Structure 1
Amino acid sequence: DGPKPAKFSNLPYATSQTGLVYDVRMRFHVEAEPSEDDLHPEDPRRIHAIFEAFVNAGLAWREGDSGPTSDYYMGRVDARMVTREEVCLVHTANHWNWVQSLGVMSAEQLKTEEQHEGSRNDSIYLSNSTPYCASLSAGGAIEACRAVMLGKVKNIFAVIRPPGHHAEREDAKGFCFYDNVSIATKVCQKEFGERCRKVFILDWDVHHGNGIQQANYDDPNVLYISLHVHKRGTFYPEHSYRDNRIAYGDHLHCGEGPGLGKNVNIPWSRQGMGDADYIYAFQQVVMPIATEFNPDLVIIAAGFDAAEGDMLGGCKVTPAGYAHMTHMLMSLADGKLAVCLEGGYNLESIARSATAVGRTMMGEPPDRLDNLSPTNSGVDDVKLVLRQQSRFWSCLYPKDLSARLSQLRGEHMPNVVRGWQAKTLFEEYRMTSLFVHREQLAKAFEDQVLATPNYAESRPLLVILHDPPEILASPDPRTGKMELHNTWLTDVVKTYIDDAVKRGFAVIDVNLPKHVSEDDSDPHQHQESDSIESRTKEATQLLTYIWENYIELNDSTHIFLMGTNTGHGAILSFIKSHDDRAQRMITKAISFVEDVPLTSCKSLVGNDMLPSWYWNHSLVFVAGGHNYWESEYARKPKKRFGNVSRSVSTSISDMLAEHRDEVL
């Protein structure tokens, strides 16, 4: 049942077969002593589940089955053993020798074997069949790509294992031994020359393909784009490198030397990403860059662990989502596409997802998608990538402004806005800056704490810890410029200050910048927002400083703490670490939470009464689109999260306006 020639010469692509690489011998790589209760995720049944799904869907033919044959079945392409020379296009000779040596080790040796003495193996298991299966897997990837380049099939799906995208030059890791996709890339570039000079590798495995990135980082003819959960470097393969380097799956790693700009990481800042996020990333980043690159061959490093139902990945991509991504990629390189299996550890999920991809490759249109509204965090993550990559690709806008700003020496807007706020609040309420001791806190907090002159008097005190005001505008999509006459600053917090002052409250206003780290020596460079963890830590230190120096010793009759986003986390951190003082002195804690984690109030010192106290002394307004509402806590509320209310609004400014009457 090998590939057959095109049935209609006028439609050679449409009437050609899709290929399939599958070899049951790849299932021989197994754990030496598997446990029925704790099977390794990289289960030999993974490839069998996909092949069976292909057969049951009528896409592939199982040898020996009775019944009619069809020219529309996937044409089988045989896997073969990879050669030493081919492996060494990517890996070192030492790496090849070590993998091959596993075939003759005793069971006891395999249990204790370390690839690098004194450095434990990283997420791999070893068996005597490992070198055999790893060689078949890499050889299968090569033959899949060769079949496409030779025109034997229009596209091909290589159902192979063990996977490969984590394997580095001299390191087997993350279930991977040989970097299958990179080896196939180098072999095809060498064999086919100009016909396969430019190769585009798209990696949609939920984990970053550190091995593929390393193998092609300086190659101008290999475009590598990876969509993966990163969680700011805390998701595998986080800091798991033998050479102690930091995780390099972030958006700032763009290639080096002649390969600069040919490495594109789209790192999701959280799990739970779904079809809408992936399609948005494809439309905004992947397809524009890939089209400009204009590859000769497209290879998908197809891990299905971002699929709905995969517990390791924790994402929600549906079979239809994978089909749509495949459909878009088929428009490149005259349709020359090779799909090589990587991860994916829920047998049902990978079978359904792979089948959807296979049907699309064979010519069926993808199923419709239910929802195409990306998450807020997904949009933010993609925008970071756009800003970083726009300097390398003419198709991406807006362009990074750092070069122009370095010449023009513009004024940093946070300083302009806070200066205006300070002037306005002084003129209307006589609010002045409170001194903040520099050694203890970030420089960015200077002049960010303003107070009415009566803050120490015997009267109610409102302390507001808030994000910077929103600036609303429609920037030019090409230049990034904003016209002042079409730009507005929304400072809804000021309406709270106004009402509080009219009611006889004292007010301390604390502006929490989104960039507080000390690496801002050049204010004319683009500055990423600090992580929410870092900002919350800094804001908590600031609140503690204000409490100990300006609040605790005063005569306030009631103390109200109000926080937005970072301020919410700071208030909760302060209460948990000062629970006795908080319960005695705080009348109400009010929070507005848009796109940061909802923090629970669980005592750090075993105070069992703190959650109940917090529930009775809190108002917590959570944006309608927050992922809290999809969690079990929304269905079964816990007191430790406070008196939570769902807001109709989805932005802090709108939420502040919506709930002003409830708060005041």
Structure 2
Amino acid sequence: MVLDANVLQEFGNLETTEPLELLGPSSLEANRKFTNGTMPGHRLHASPQGVATPLHPSHLGRTPEVVNSRSSSSGSAPTNPNQEGGSPMENVRYHDRTVVQIAIPKPRFPALPYLSSQSGLVYDDRMRNHAEPLPLHDVDDPHLEQPARISAIYQELVSAGLVYDYNDSSRPSKYQLARIDARQATAEEISLVHSREHYDWVRTLQGKTNEELHEIGETFDSIYLNRATWLCASLSAGGAIEACKEVVTGLVKNSIAVIRPPGHHAERDTSRGFCIFNNASIAAKVCQRDYPDLCRKILVVDWDIHHGNGIQEAFYKDPNVLYISLHVHRDGDFYPYSDYGDHLHCGESAGLGMNVNIPWSDVGMSDGDYMFAFQHVVMPIATEFDPDFVIVSAGFDAAAGDPLGRCFVSPAGYAHMTHMLMSLAKGKITVCLEGGYNLVAISKSALAVTRTLMGEPPDRLVSNEASPSGIDTVHKVVRQQSTFWKWILPKKIVIDPGEPKGERMHDVVRALQSDEFFKKYNMMPLFIHRKKISKSFINQVLATSNYREPRPLLVVFRGPPEVIGIPDPRTNMLELHNIYMTDSTKTYLEWAATNDFAMIDVNIPKHVTDVEDDLGYTEADKANVRADATKELALYLWENYIEVSNATHVFFLGVGDAYKGLTDLLNTNENCADRITYVVNFVAASTAFQGVRGNSNEQLSLWYYQHSLIFLANDHSAWDPEYIRTVRRKKYGNLVQSPFKTLKRMMEEHKSQVFELLLEETRDWRENVKTEPNLKRDGTIGTRETALLLTERSKRASSAPLKVNGHGS
């Protein structure tokens, strides 16, 4: 069939070389040539009213062959003369005009329909016009969200041979990306997500001066504006719509939209965070409206480093859109600076459970963290949801080298995530560009994603080990989401408020320790003045009755015993016979008691139990909160008990996170070094490392180096070649690299070394105990002898040899 002459006349002198096939009612497509000065092979687009208009080719970088081309207003197909099959032609009356329809083509190889279909690309050079308003634009220091972001990605795809560029003299290949034209989104489409007032406001920007636009932009959150912002933002939203429509209707198997400005921060009534319109949300709403049978359930995965507050807002009550976001949250101290992106926001009303936030606790996340999150949260939930269509809000600012994200996701990491998502919705997936501000990183990452969409397997991962903080975040999300999803295990334990009230085991264990230590060592709780009441404080500090006497005093700062429990894999319940407890410090207390040391045992709980405890799952108290509490307690004990005691020697033993209370004590009260004989610390890889440096006492760092033994886990970051010279400084103490990684193995391995040190440092006291005629029956000696021993200890401490890694030099 050939177009009617009247139709041809309406669009200019159009010379058709192939008959037209069936297409959707609002597009025209043909393998044709323009003879009125336009580029060969260029497409006509239908306006929203059904009137088609020629589209100027200057912005497209397009292919002159329709085999690599797609029309896009409502989805269309290539007209490939070599294509088998086809559908009969039909004319439809549309606003009193004849519009040609073209059918969806059959795959090139019917036995492998998905593999033999093309992937689609949206790219429109006009979107580069959204830039800082001249002359305010600084050429030497461009804005992070700069026009080159999309052109760099496009050129990377061209250089890799994945897309045909109209400037290329060679012929396009059927294996390359099919080109999908961007168009401006309509007011009706944008208003599915945004208010009409917001739409109208953006449209008025065309008539503003640069100075006015700059002033307006200054009143917004991380936004700049110019007179092309309206055009670019509507093209960005329209490009996302067309990229999604072509996948939903089966014209391409999947697609990538290289668009800007980004969209996931834009909210219903405002623009923010470099975003004008919420592209992915608009596209999802349009597909749900136009294709209710094909696209009822949509999964939106947002791997931009920042939380997509705008997308979450758009679908927070929608039961048919599942939104999953992986982002740095840092307890709300990372853009967009709100608790809205925490793991507790799971949706509302009918949408409860349809919002999944995976909020990283800090920057520095890598491939291993994202793979762990995908395998334990994203894919199980997404598979159970079983979407009809997948949209990826693909910010590449978690890529290594990004100035804002400061994470380490590799191109292969993005490819693996894409590959997993392609297993959903029969492979119907559209990737829409969001953030990413390192041009090299976003180009390489987008290339890897595109190659995966086209069928290439992902490269090997750079790193496949999840970080401790990443694992903690994922497990936190699993506990929260297990309430809503069958495939998420283990299940969150819900306490029935009608059941008899129980006790938290860390308080029970400490009470048992108190009872055991009283019977074995005559240790009793010390009074500590508190600002609040808690069970966790009752037995927090235990001391032998002789802690005031003139004998060596060992002060231990440690956390609760290590507990290993094997829960039921289905119910997540723990049974007592499957719980094991290891208290590594008990060996040190037993040794100290045997050798006539006085002892103070300080337990630093990870959580201080509230009086009105609901017994539900509770996160450990924040590290900075615990550190401040430990410092306060250490100062209190020093001033009220240790400093005023008659101890001949004072030894501090710090285990795990609690050791920081000892270094804080030295940094705060520099004079306490005069009374301390030695400091021994055991530091695991998960514990931040800190040193001792006096503000007024310049010799404090040297003293700490000469009077400390710091055992660091074998895998602690301090041993990294990048940091080793720094941590060798004297303020970090006398470091020893343990061959083991866990605290209990470290303490077992090095106990002989510690015991030998304590015996050597207290030799004078033990010798005097044997020979002192005034020795009391309870092992104490008189005041005069005490003074002599203290003087002797000070002399020995001041003349102690310089040690390196535990050996004299």
Relative to the length of structure 1, the TM-score reads 0.93
User: 2:498 & 2:403 partners in 1: Cα distance?
Assistant: 46
> Equivalences for 1:100-139 in 2 at 5 Å?
100-113=203-216, 120-139=219-238
User: CA distance change for structure 1 residues 578 and 263 in 2, over 3 Å: closer, same or farther?
Assistant: same
2:307 to 205, 208, 214: 208
Tell me if the contact between 2:365 and 2:407 (Cα under 8 Å) persists in the aligned partners: yes
Counterpart of 2:347 in structure 1 is: 255
What's the CA shift for 1:473?
A: 2.7
Map Cα deviations across residues 415-473 of structure 1 (whole Å, 9 max, x no partner). 22112111111111111111121226866323211111111122222222211111113
> Equivalences for 1:162-177 in 2 at 5 Å?
162-177=261-276
Counterpart of 1:231 in structure 2 is: 330
Tell me if the contact between 1:22 and 1:79 (Cα under 8 Å) persists in the aligned partners: yes
> 1:509 and 2:576 equivalent?
no
What's the CA shift for 1:658?
A: 2.9
> 1:157 and 2:225 equivalent?
no
Q: Give the % identical residues.
A: 51
Q: SS of 1:185's equivalent?
A: helix
Counterpart of 1:390 in structure 2 is: 482
What's the CA shift for 1:44?
A: 1.2
User: CA distance change for structure 1 residues 79 and 622 in 2, over 3 Å: closer, same or farther?
Assistant: farther
User: 1:216 & 1:344 partners in 2: Cα distance?
Assistant: 24
User: 2:196 & 2:536 partners in 1: Cα distance?
Assistant: 52
Moved more, 313-322 or 442-451: 442-451
Counterpart of 1:243 in structure 2 is: none
AA at the equivalent of 2:152: A
User: CA distance change for structure 1 residues 616 and 257 in 2, over 3 Å: closer, same or farther?
Assistant: farther
What's the CA shift for 1:596?
A: 2.9
AA at the equivalent of 2:422: M
Q: SS of 1:407's equivalent?
A: coil
1:184 to 283, 287, 290: 283
Map Cα deviations across residues 299-331 of structure 1 (whole Å, 9 max, x no partner). 111111111222321111111111111110000
Tell me if the contact between 1:201 and 1:223 (Cα under 8 Å) persists in the aligned partners: yes
What's the CA shift for 1:607?
A: 4.9
Counterpart of 2:730 in structure 1 is: 639
Counterpart of 1:145 in structure 2 is: 244
Counterpart of 1:242 in structure 2 is: none
Q: SS of 2:599's equivalent?
A: strand
Tell me if the contact between 1:302 and 1:342 (Cα under 8 Å) persists in the aligned partners: yes
AA at the equivalent of 2:705: W
Q: Which has the larger radius of gyration?
A: 2
User: 2:347 & 2:718 partners in 1: Cα distance?
Assistant: 37
User: CA distance change for structure 1 residues 626 and 61 in 2, over 3 Å: closer, same or farther?
Assistant: farther
What's the CA shift for 1:523?
A: 4.2
Relative to the length of structure 2, the TM-score reads 0.77
Map Cα deviations across residues 360-383 of structure 1 (whole Å, 9 max, x no partner). 110011112254222222111111
Counterpart of 1:279 in structure 2 is: 371
User: CA distance change for structure 1 residues 517 and 183 in 2, over 3 Å: closer, same or farther?
Assistant: farther
Uncovered stretches (5+) of structure 2, i.e. residues with no partner: 1-67, 71-77, 79-104, 756-809
Moved more, 537-546 or 342-351: 537-546
Counterpart of 1:266 in structure 2 is: 358
Q: SS of 1:514's equivalent?
A: coil
What's the CA shift for 1:573?
A: 2.5
User: 1:347 & 1:601 partners in 2: Cα distance?
Assistant: 42
User: CA distance change for structure 1 residues 357 and 629 in 2, over 3 Å: closer, same or farther?
Assistant: farther
1:58 to 132, 139, 161: 161
Counterpart of 1:576 in structure 2 is: 667
User: 1:624 & 1:213 partners in 2: Cα distance?
Assistant: 42
> 1:594 and 2:685 equivalent?
yes
User: 2:316 & 2:449 partners in 1: Cα distance?
Assistant: 28
> 1:560 and 2:651 equivalent?
yes
Moved more, 2-11 or 393-402: 2-11
Q: SS of 2:662's equivalent?
A: helix
Tell me if the contact between 1:532 and 1:596 (Cα under 8 Å) persists in the aligned partners: no
What's the CA shift for 1:197?
A: 1.3
Counterpart of 1:195 in structure 2 is: 294
User: CA distance change for structure 1 residues 640 and 22 in 2, over 3 Å: closer, same or farther?
Assistant: farther
Counterpart of 1:618 in structure 2 is: 708
> 1:399 and 2:500 equivalent?
no
AA at the equivalent of 1:503: N
Aligned length: 651
What's the CA shift for 1:411?
A: 3.2
User: 2:663 & 2:567 partners in 1: Cα distance?
Assistant: 36
> Equivalences for 1:232-631 in 2 at 5 Å?
232-238=331-337, 246-404=338-496, 407=499, 409-439=501-531, 444-516=536-608, 518=610, 521-582=612-673, 585=676, 587-588=678-679, 590-603=681-694, 605=695, 607-630=697-720
User: 1:435 & 1:255 partners in 2: Cα distance?
Assistant: 47
User: CA distance change for structure 1 residues 37 and 555 in 2, over 3 Å: closer, same or farther?
Assistant: farther
Tell me if the contact between 2:366 and 2:463 (Cα under 8 Å) persists in the aligned partners: no
Counterpart of 2:751 in structure 1 is: 660
User: 2:732 & 2:221 partners in 1: Cα distance?
Assistant: 38
User: 1:506 & 1:36 partners in 2: Cα distance?
Assistant: 70
User: 2:619 & 2:298 partners in 1: Cα distance?
Assistant: 31
User: 2:333 & 2:721 partners in 1: Cα distance?
Assistant: 22
Map Cα deviations across residues 534-579 of structure 1 (whole Å, 9 max, x no partner). 1111222222222222112212233222323331232222222222
User: CA distance change for structure 1 residues 491 and 171 in 2, over 3 Å: closer, same or farther?
Assistant: same
Uncovered stretches (5+) of structure 1, i.e. residues with no partner: 239-245
User: 1:39 & 1:462 partners in 2: Cα distance?
Assistant: 60
User: CA distance change for structure 1 residues 82 and 524 in 2, over 3 Å: closer, same or farther?
Assistant: same
Tell me if the contact between 1:137 and 1:161 (Cα under 8 Å) persists in the aligned partners: yes
Moved more, 379-388 or 472-481: 472-481
What's the CA shift for 1:490?
A: 0.5
Q: SS of 1:194's equivalent?
A: coil
AA at the equivalent of 1:633: Y
What's the CA shift for 1:344?
A: 1.0
Moved more, 198-207 or 543-552: 543-552
What's the CA shift for 1:639?
A: 3.4
User: CA distance change for structure 1 residues 600 and 262 in 2, over 3 Å: closer, same or farther?
Assistant: farther
Moved more, 15-24 or 562-571: 562-571
> 1:29 and 2:130 equivalent?
yes
Q: Which structure carries more relative contact order (alpha carbon 8 Å, separation 6+)?
A: 1
User: 2:175 & 2:197 partners in 1: Cα distance?
Assistant: 44
What's the CA shift for 1:521?
A: 2.0
Counterpart of 2:188 in structure 1 is: 85
User: 1:380 & 1:629 partners in 2: Cα distance?
Assistant: 24
User: CA distance change for structure 1 residues 487 and 162 in 2, over 3 Å: closer, same or farther?
Assistant: same
User: 2:140 & 2:534 partners in 1: Cα distance?
Assistant: 50
Counterpart of 1:2 in structure 2 is: 69
What's the CA shift for 1:408?
A: 5.7
Moved more, 291-300 or 183-192: 183-192
What's the CA shift for 1:586?
A: 5.8
Counterpart of 1:241 in structure 2 is: none
User: CA distance change for structure 1 residues 660 and 148 in 2, over 3 Å: closer, same or farther?
Assistant: same
User: CA distance change for structure 1 residues 621 and 40 in 2, over 3 Å: closer, same or farther?
Assistant: farther
User: 1:100 & 1:641 partners in 2: Cα distance?
Assistant: 60
Tell me if the contact between 2:118 and 2:253 (Cα under 8 Å) persists in the aligned partners: yes
Tell me if the contact between 2:319 and 2:350 (Cα under 8 Å) persists in the aligned partners: yes
What's the CA shift for 1:405?
A: 7.6
Counterpart of 1:17 in structure 2 is: 118
Tell me if the contact between 1:539 and 1:566 (Cα under 8 Å) persists in the aligned partners: no
